[in-house]
Amino acid sequence: MTYSGEIISDVATLHTNIEKFPHCPIVSTENLDAIPYDREKQSNIQLSFNTSKLERECSRGVDKNIVKSGENELYFERPMGPILAQAKLNFDQNKSILEFNKSYMRLGKATIDQFYSPGHLFMDFLNWRLLQSKYTLLHAAAFEYQNEGVVLIGLSNAGKTTTTLDFLSTYGGNFVAEDIAVIDGETVYSCPYSLSPIDPSFTDSKKHKYYAKLDNHVPLLDRFFNNPMDSILDVIGKDSFVGKTSIDHIFVLSGEGPKPESMYDIILSSNRAEFTYSANQLLWAAQYRNLINMEKTIQTEETLLQDAINSAETHILSVPPEQYTEQIHSFIT
């Protein structure tokens, strides 16, 4: 059975034969049937993520676990005792495909050395594919207020999602993204099926409140147990959601620490801290085998970030987090 759904509004559609998707920040739900799919609507980017029976392509007894496979494919394998984990990446932009054998899917709960978890590899592959079409992932939250788009930048736990939800509950507006968004330099797009830890005060779900409390005490809980709420849409509701908006204001949430001097440097640093495609060994192995151009890909990301800065009014908030909402409102009104 194949599941299909638009995982980035108006940008990317996922096709998979996997009933329960592995841990992945951009697709938090295990219930892929919950993601709507409009066959009449064609997203710019189509990606496939499948479990398949793969033929072994590395010679036995040879210390070589990455080989070029066909014109656009990279094959990877890793013996794990008596079990062989296999993956194949197809870099054809018209049919971008990630394939794993069942052993890889069972073993790949965490990334160790060059053995990437399936969800981790999917995120890096997705970001590479987005950049080929002049989009990039952005470590940010975003909302729309009075027809203007507001983007919040900050490291993990800086208060991006909390500030967004607090602003919307206080002043109104439309939700766009929490923690992960996609931009093209002028527009920010939603990843509506992501879900980072949410302040329990913003939801009435007892299951979510219990999970959030447990997550604070159990390391790596999210690697093995999905949040009981399928996505951020369960928290904010579809009526308060828009799939995209313009980039009119960018705020960096720096707290009471030193004020960053460069807006570009802080946004790039935030992206590098959250997304790892630029250091993915398999992607660099693909460049080594002349399948892709990673230098050009990284330059595209840097250009898109600078374009976003150029298109917006930018602000750095060096105030206590509890003042973020009021400060943002004062700047944009």
One-character DSSP codes across 186-254: SEEEE-TT------GGG---HHHHHHHHHHTTSTTHHHHS--SS-SHHHHH-GGGB-SEEE--EEEEE-
Q: Identify the H or E element spanning 65.
A: none
The domain limits of the chain are 3-132, 136-332
pLDDT for position 219: 59
Q: Would you state the structure tokens that stand for residue 19, as one six-digit string? A: 């009933």
- pTM, rounded to two decimals: 0.87
pLDDT for position 83: 85
pLDDT for position 224: 53
One-character DSSP codes across 154-204: -STTSSHHHHHHHHHHHH--EEEESSEEEE-SSEEEE-TT------GGG--
pLDDT for position 37: 64
Q: In a structure prediction context, what are the per-residue pLDDT tens digits for the chain, which is 333 residues long? A: 788 888 899 999 999 998 777 878 888 666 666 666 666 667 789 999 999 999 888 765 444 688 888 889 999 988 878 888 899 999 998 889 999 999 998 877 666 666 788 989 999 999 999 999 999 999 999 999 999 999 999 988 888 988 998 999 999 999 999 889 999 999 999 988 886 655 555 555 555 555 566 666 565 555 555 554 556 766 666 778 899 999 999 999 987 666 767 899 999 999 999 999 999 999 999 999 999 999 999 999 999 999 999 999 999 998 999 999 999 999 998
One-character DSSP codes across 99-121: EE-HHHHHHTTS-BTTB--HHHH
pLDDT for position 306: 97
